[in-house]
Structure 1
Amino acid sequence: MPTSNAIVGIDLADVKQMVVVCDHDSRVLARRTFRCKAWDLGPALDWAAGHAARHGFTGVTLACEPTGHRWRILDQLAADRGMSFVCVQPTMSAWARKSEDLTFDKTDDKDAVLIARMTAQLRCYLPEPADETWGRLRHLGNRRDELLEIHGSSVHRLRDLLECVWPAALATAAYPFRSTTWVAALAVITGRDGGDLDRTRRLGADRFERMVRAEMVRRGKVRPCLRIVRNLFTALSDPAGVHTHRPGAFERIAWVLGDWDRARTQQVDVEAQMVAVLDELELTHLVTTIPGLSPVGAAAILAHTGDLRRFTSARAVVKHAGLAPRERMSGTFTGKARLTGAGRPELRTAAWRAVWGCLQTNKVYAARYRHLTTRETNKLKATQAQTVIAGAILRQLHAVVVHRQAWDPAIATGHARGQEPLVAA
């Protein structure tokens, strides 16, 4: 943000782009509305550069909100012209908009000026630089999140449908949707009887078992759990359920099972590609030195952080995920600390998922979790302690990637600093 540069605030939209040229005192030197797509903003940038030059500035700094993917287009247009480019957080803009005149006024003109003013106040940040490899990892991570969402929604739909038309099936296994045998048997039933359970029951237990075995082989497994197979066959005689809805519901169940299978197959392929990108970045051997953190889990986190070297500190990564604590204190009052919740929710979810594997196999994190949940003063609940572990994973992953140094349990527990042994950093 050199003082020799004018500030160009741009409020991006679909076909209407508001462009203002301001100095560092937020005085508007020129403004204009361009009715075009983001890809056609090249002449607008040239127009802004011309006005900046006429007012004595040697260059311009572009600023916008990173909404959608239009800001990436503007980033490329600015790079082609050798212009500086920064972004302003939309949340910051919303707060500043209310503080302007204590109203909720929102217009394109005001928003563009507000973006320029916040940039002059240095309330902006440098966006992640464009990189093909990191960009591909981010898109793969987003695709994996979509497939996991399909997976989860399919389970909920299957449960709802079965509770309506055949509730006995859900009681045949402790965790039915985690059992390949149960899913294979359900696929056999929905694929042949169309809701007429008597038709499958007339097959007999032995023939039904052989069909389930064949379905298991098709799904890449060999040995079914015979207890679940027999329980499902017995449940075929259970009269509970809305019989009039069974034909339509079983048809939907077959469709949902197909969506679920496709999502799981694509998820395996996407995760393999994510690990391959991690290998290309030469990070797999580093991130897997953290016990309990799988290559897929690390790739999922890095897909939403981008290159961790762009963060000034490990705490900045935690803030980026919205896992930093938010304190409330005033005078003698001390409120309850909560998470900020700001930042990238996808990153927060990826870090949260990594906690479960780490608590099982990482002795440092497991000891830290036990300490937080069992100490006598300020004892945390289970979810609060898991949140602390999620933040520790992000901080230590930042150290591992930035310094290119394998994870060391001694450093993680504070022994290397000559302090008293801590449970975890």
Structure 2
Amino acid sequence: MKFKMQDKQNQLIERISDKHLVVGVDIAQELHIARAVNFRGIIVGDPLSFENNEDGFARLLQWMNQLKSLKGFDFTIVGMEPTGHYWINLSKWLFDQDIEAVTVNPHLVKKNKENRDNTQSKSDKKDALVIADMVKNGYYSFIRPTSEPFEKLSVLMSNRDMTVKRLVSAINQINRWVDIVFPELRQVFKDVKGKGAIATLRLFPTPNELRSMKAPDIVKGWKTQMKRQPGLKKAHQLIELARHSVGTRQALDAYKLHLEQLIEEFDLATTQLERVEKEVTNVLKRIPFARKLLAIKGISEIALAGILGESGDLSGFAHGNSLLRHAGLHLAEASSGKWKGQIVLSKRGRSRLRRFLYLTTMSLVMNNPDFKEMHANNVKVKKMKKMKSIMKLIHKLARVLVGMARKNETYCPHKVKPIVLIAA
């Protein structure tokens, strides 16, 4: 199936008829501004300021109903900028009232603010009017309501990202601490975040403590922290390295306090990460097509959860190219006359979705025989650069994911491989 973006744009414009009241809302934390126009862009009524609560939303509904009855409109469409998280409650409330709500790109709002008055001035009332104009011109996107499992994945994966950042930060600071106080520890434990190294840092972190200890006492301490612990040989090695350590010998009390807090943060982040990933696994079991997608060799639960958390229900996309546009992975070119610029990725979309699509494709290239074969064919036969081949396979993955979700079918290798590869 050929997917043409021009057809979609025409459909968005055609949907706005002379029976539509087009409302633009400038979103803020506490006070929103609404303006209304008809399908030709003629201003209808006065601006409305309303609060971000139930009473304010009721005032908006009353204002729109009055304009509809006064001007003879039959339908209402409300456009808004997805500013932070402040727009979510209003969009869900409008959905519950059976009123169509759409979003406009904040970047386009900034580009179109001079269309009305040919000035660079900016105000909430003007922004609301610019949003209404963009909606009647077809520059809007539908808000696709998602079921609870997909919203859960979105919240959980956002939470996971923050937890991973905290965990990585704690590990980096523990590495810095070891470099300053006891750099020789790495000769015994290569990985500072490993169980042996962390247990040693908990019990006797500084070389001063290790110098006065005996090897059996160190092993006894390890037994309280680990089921399988290092033996006497490593304990003797640790004591000998501590005696000749070049680590700092000043402010050791302050360094020990700092290390205790870092290990507490490390433990907390590790526990939270395990809880989040366990919950992600449980949520994926509630999504009908997730099991079939996970059956594809190379797709992990976390990668799939990241994709579904950002995209929502994949069966709602018309084509894989729609998913790519949602991620900002569609192409953008700049050319004029004889000059032709470089074609690049637009990156106007969800960055987390781009990241998980890329990581999933890399995993497939390494673990899935079909994608591995296609990548090798692109690089060796078609002489593509490796990154260009990866981007092409991302497009292939998007089509596979959307196709499987829409048809609820299992993975078929012969549908993925090009005819040339099958014949060979």
Instruction: Mark yes or no: TM-score above 0.5.
Output: yes
Structure 1: any 5+ residue segments left out of the alignment? Answer: 191-195
Match of 2:214 in 1: 204
Distance 2:233 2:52 in 1: 61
Match of 1:193 in 2: none
TM-score, normalising length: structure 1: 0.85
Match of 2:367 in 1: 361
Distance 2:233 2:158 in 1: 38
Q: SS of the residue aligned with 1:365? A: helix
Distance 2:326 2:62 in 1: 34
Q: SS of the residue aligned with 1:61? A: strand
Matched AA of 2:213: L
Structure 1 residues 82-133: Cα deviation after superposition (integer angstroms, max 9, x where no partner): 3221111222222323666776532111110111011001111111214222
Match of 1:76 in 2: 92
Matched AA of 1:394: A
Matched AA of 1:184: A
Matched AA of 2:211: R
Q: SS of the residue aligned with 2:250? A: helix
Deviates more, 1:98-107 or 1:254-263: 98-107
Match of 2:81 in 1: 65
1:182 deviation in Å? 2.5
Distance 1:102 1:246 in 2: 65
1:61 deviation in Å? 1.1
Q: SS of the residue aligned with 1:405? A: coil
Distance 1:232 1:386 in 2: 46
Relative to structure 1, the CA distance from residue 82 to residue 379 in structure 2 (aligned partners, 3 Å threshold; closer, same or farther) is closer
Q: SS of the residue aligned with 1:66? A: coil
1:54 deviation in Å? 0.5
Match of 2:420 in 1: 420
Distance 2:324 2:98 in 1: 32
1:105 is aligned to 2:109: no
Match of 1:47 in 2: 63
Deviates more, 1:44-53 or 1:34-43: 34-43
Structure 2: any 5+ residue segments left out of the alignment? Answer: 1-14
Structure 1 residues 217-242: Cα deviation after superposition (integer angstroms, max 9, x where no partner): 3xxxx355988766655543343334
**Pairing of 1:366-405 with structure 2 (within 5 A):** 366-374=372-380, 377-381=383-387, 385-405=389-409
Match of 2:23 in 1: 8
TM-score, normalising length: structure 2: 0.85
Distance 1:134 1:11 in 2: 27
Structure 1 residues 263-301: Cα deviation after superposition (integer angstroms, max 9, x where no partner): 222222211211211111223421112101122321222
Distance 1:234 1:385 in 2: 52
**Pairing of 1:15-414 with structure 2 (within 5 A):** 15-39=30-54, 40-97=56-113, 104-170=120-186, 172-177=188-193, 179-190=194-205, 196-217=206-227, 222-224=228-230, 232-330=238-336, 333=339, 335-374=341-380, 377-381=383-387, 385-414=389-418
Distance 1:307 1:100 in 2: 38
Q: Percent identity?
A: 20
Relative to structure 1, the CA distance from residue 283 to residue 7 in structure 2 (aligned partners, 3 Å threshold; closer, same or farther) is same
Q: SS of the residue aligned with 1:53? A: helix
Matched AA of 2:210: T
Q: SS of the residue aligned with 1:7? A: strand
1:388 deviation in Å? 4.5
Distance 1:228 1:376 in 2: 53
Residues paired across the two proteins, number: 407
1:175 deviation in Å? 4.1
Q: SS of the residue aligned with 1:114? A: helix
Structure 1 residues 308-346: Cα deviation after superposition (integer angstroms, max 9, x where no partner): 122221122122223334444555655444332221112
Deviates more, 1:119-128 or 1:140-149: 140-149
Deviates more, 1:119-128 or 1:364-373: 364-373
Structure 1 residues 322-376: Cα deviation after superposition (integer angstroms, max 9, x where no partner): 3334444555655444332221112222233334543332112223344445557
Deviates more, 1:387-396 or 1:41-50: 387-396
**RMSD, aligned α-carbons:** 2.9
Matched AA of 1:125: S
Distance 1:387 1:183 in 2: 40
